[in-house]
Amino acid sequence: MSGYDDTYRHSIERPEAFWGEAALGISWDETPATVYAGGRWFPDGRLNTCHNALDRHVAAGRADQPALIYDSPVTGTTRTYTYAELLDEVARTAGMLRGLGVTAGDTVVIYMPMVPEAVVAMLACARLGAVHSVVFGGFAAGELAVRIDHARPKVVLSASCGIEPARVVAYKPLLDAALEQAGHTPDRCVILQRPQCAAELRDGRDLDWARAVAGAEPAGCVSVAATDPLYILYTSGTTGSPKGVVRDNGGHAVALHWSMSNVYGAAPGEVYWAASDVGWVVGHSYIVYAPLLAGCTTVLYEGKPVGTPDPGAFWRVVAAHGVRTLFTAPTAIRAIKKEDPSGDFAKKYDLSGLRYLFLAGERLDPDTYHWASDLLGIPVIDHWWQTETGWPIAADCVGIERLPVKPGSPTKAVPGWDVHILDSDGNDCPPGVEGAVTVKLPLPPGALPTLYRDEARFTRSYLERYPGHYLTGDGGHLDEDGYLYVMGRIDDVINVAGHRLSTGAMEEVVAAHPDVAECAVIGVADPLKGQAPMGFVVLKAGARREPEEVERELVALVRERIGPVAAFRRAVVVARLPKTRSGKILRATMRDIADGRPYTTPSTIEDPAALPEIADAMKTP
């Protein structure tokens, strides 16, 4: 096996040879004769992603191997599905969808909690060549309605409820409200009835999941072009409108299969656990698709790192199921550390089988890195990627060669990703100098080829600023050894516990309050979540209500319109917002104040006294 330097150089200098070889790990209906042309990977290849995730493993002798382990401390349930059992569930669910008129190219919205049927639904869509769009269950009705209108699904798959540690969240009323708000009407909604909360079904539109699947004939795999879409995943943009990231079938399968052994060091038959949610890109890539493409056993966990029932929850799952590789967000480890700083709960379990802890979703601070490393005594690996990229841009690729750790850095670029740090003129920055983190085109397989029904926005958002490069939207620098340091967003999308959320979308909600004249929402450093939104509002002249009352209403309003995932808990009424003379709110300066960084009062500021007032407001508990 080549070392990292040789592998990386080969991937950048001869990308078609590199990815042509990687494509041999996938079963093709029509093997691609062309690796890359016209901006697309494997353009003349045909395959089925579900076949690669399930059928081929059953045929190769893995029928009785566990494919999916469902562990739900919130319901007290554990269930294991073999590859043969999961294939049967998926084929019958695909048959149900086919019976409802879903064919290749149609879209299906999936609005479900962390239950096996959510995984089954995604794979069933892939089996038919249909395009799934999973919407995280924490989003409110308005956000769901926007996604339904944009994706235009033929069918919506949902459940009666999701379950939090302290409450049951009814999904059906949220879905009903979303469909009332949406302009698009799906043909059918199929609802999984969970015993914790029964949903009322609407005649003529809603079907009971169990009955619908029980009466369906299993469906086979539909061959699709490698360039056909597998899924749409909406991510927050810098305005309130979401961006539909498109993932194709061929490049996605090749890249994710390659990443499992080379980035994560995972082998077929091993237990791999990505402690995330299927509503996020980590859930798509590393709960559902990559582990199954690689013939691993994947864990689906319906619970939290703490409180279900205690800070030992993750360690229990690792020990109980023989997890070899754990992938989660730094937020989860910080939550465990906060509740169990001495690591006593970890000492209750046999963790000797755990080989690696991978962390991504937000910047891994050195303190959390050292705590986890000392506690577990195994490599703790920071790595970095995005919804748009679908798999890691930078990581210590343990399946190729372990590299020395530098806390605060996700190590070096993964093979296939030609990472550059560019200044405002598009020139490469010298080591240690911060600039925009970009990737020289072409992007490797698995990255987004476009935005759903919005090619112009794709070009404008990612390709226009630095011609020949993909703009990640993050700022950072490379050191003299080529290690990457990612320092944060250069737009107004903030990272809350690994979830990218738009402060612009939150501002739209806050501004809609009848007493609010103007507002600004910024992301401030949070010791647990990485970042948390904080709102500043100026009330309309003549508003006679108490500021505290308005602040409470704003928090509730954001929770209602965007959802609790926004973690919007602080809104502060101020006399004025700091602005330039042209009227631009000085959000960057406000963030510096909030995070305790030194700042200079911009010469363009309209009223210098506004900044001290903001600083005082931030001190208010």
The distance of Cα 102 from the centroid of its chain, to the nearest Å, equals: 26
> Do 432 and 498 have their domain in common?
no
Is a pLDDT exceeding 50 seen at residue 71? yes
Asked if residue 317 is part of any domain, the answer here is no
Asked if residue 451 is part of any domain, the answer here is no
User: Is 189 in a helix, a strand, or coil?
Assistant: strand
In angstroms, the Cα distances linking 474 to 22, 368, 386 are 29, 22, 10
What are the tens digits of pLDDT across the range 282-330? 999 999 999 999 999 999 999 999 999 999 999 999 999 999 999 999 8
> Do 578 and 433 have their domain in common?
no
| Dist. CA 350–CA 322, nearest whole Å | 9
> Do 252 and 158 have their domain in common?
yes
Stronger pLDDT, 599 or 360, i.e. the higher one: 360
In angstroms, the Cα distances linking 413 to 303, 388, 419 are 32, 16, 6
Asked if residue 411 is part of any domain, the answer here is yes
Query: What's the domain range around 57?
Result: 4-303+383-440
Is a pLDDT exceeding 80 seen at residue 541? no
Asked if residue 239 is part of any domain, the answer here is yes
Is a pLDDT exceeding 70 seen at residue 94? yes
In angstroms, the Cα distances linking 80 to 68, 300, 470 are 6, 10, 41
> Do 94 and 235 have their domain in common?
yes
Question: Which whole number is the average pLDDT over 424-445?
Answer: 95
Stronger pLDDT, 67 or 559, i.e. the higher one: 67
Can you name the residues that pair with 473 across neighbouring β-strands?
none
High-pLDDT (> 70) share of the chain, %: 96
pLDDT value for 214: 97
| Sheet containing 469-478, strands listed edge to edge, beginning at the edge strand earlier in sequence | 419-422, 435-440, 469-478, 484-489
| Dist. CA 108–CA 122, nearest whole Å | 9
> Do 405 and 525 have their domain in common?
no
Q: 202, 356 in Cβ contact below 8 A?
A: no
pLDDT value for 42: 98
| Dist. CA 1–CA 7, nearest whole Å | 9
> Do 431 and 502 have their domain in common?
no
Asked if residue 568 is part of any domain, the answer here is yes
| CATH number where 602 lies | 3.30.300.30
> Do 104 and 199 have their domain in common?
yes
What are the tens digits of pLDDT across the range 443-460? 999 999 999 999 999 999
Asked if residue 220 is part of any domain, the answer here is yes
User: Is 132 in a helix, a strand, or coil?
Assistant: strand
> Do 119 and 213 have their domain in common?
yes
Token pair of 473 as six digits:
């939207």
Question: Which whole number is the average pLDDT over 232-252?
Answer: 83
Opening angle at CA 320, ends 119 and 257, nearest 5: 45
User: Is 284 in a helix, a strand, or coil?
Assistant: helix
Q: What is the number of structural domains in the chain?
A: 2
pLDDT-derived band at 110, boundaries 50, 70, 90: very high
Asked if residue 232 is part of any domain, the answer here is yes
Last residue of a domain, one of 414, 440, 466: 440
Question: Which whole number is the average pLDDT over 346-369?
Answer: 92
Is a pLDDT exceeding 80 seen at residue 212? yes
> Do 183 and 267 have their domain in common?
yes
What are the tens digits of pLDDT across the range 495-525? 788 776 777 778 878 888 988 877 889 888 8
| CATH number where 186 lies | 3.40.50.12780
Comparing C-alpha atoms, which of 151, 157, 158, 154 is closest to residue 229?
A: 151
> Do 535 and 402 have their domain in common?
no
Is a pLDDT exceeding 90 seen at residue 360? yes
> Taking all residues of the chain, what is their mean pLDDT, rounded to a whole number?
92
Is a pLDDT exceeding 90 seen at residue 544? no
> Do 165 and 269 have their domain in common?
yes
| Dist. CA 94–CA 220, nearest whole Å | 8
In sequence order, what are the residues at sequence separation of 6 or more whose Cβ sits closer than 8 angstroms to the Cβ of residue 369?
359, 380, 382, 407, 408
> Do 140 and 266 have their domain in common?
yes
Question: Which whole number is the average pLDDT over 593-618?
Answer: 79
Opening angle at CA 359, ends 356 and 361, nearest 5: 160
Asked if residue 474 is part of any domain, the answer here is no
User: Is 78 in a helix, a strand, or coil?
Assistant: strand
pLDDT-derived band at 165, boundaries 50, 70, 90: confident
pLDDT value for 9: 98
pLDDT value for 238: 45
